[in-house]
Amino acid sequence: MKKDILLGILYVSCLIVIWGSIGSLIDYAFLQRNLYTEGSLGQLSTFSISGLLFTVLGIQSFSIIKERIFKSTN
């Protein structure tokens, strides 16, 4: 497997874990404050908005991270 494909898979996997963790922390706080209930549109919105933000962040930061990793391994 090529280095850049492996890097892409690892990058997306890490980003998904981080997004899920942060989204869950935000969701937990909202649920504790009774801002919405489990399975509601509010919960869907929380994960959708945080997912969209992480997608934009991931796309923008990938080229920077890829450049730094390949520069350090060459």
- Write the pLDDT tens digit of every residue in 13-55: 999 999 999 999 999 999 999 999 999 999 999 999 999 999 9
Cα gap 14→34, rounded to integer Å: 30
What tokens were used for 73? 């391994």
Total tally of structural domains belonging to the chain = 1
Please check the confidence at residue 67 and state whether its pLDDT lies above 90.
no
3 and 67 Cβ atoms separated by less than 8 Å: no
User: Sorting pLDDT into bands at 50, 70 and 90, what band is 8?
Assistant: confident
Q: Is the pLDDT of residue 74 over 60?
A: no
Q: Which domain holds residue 20?
A: 3-73
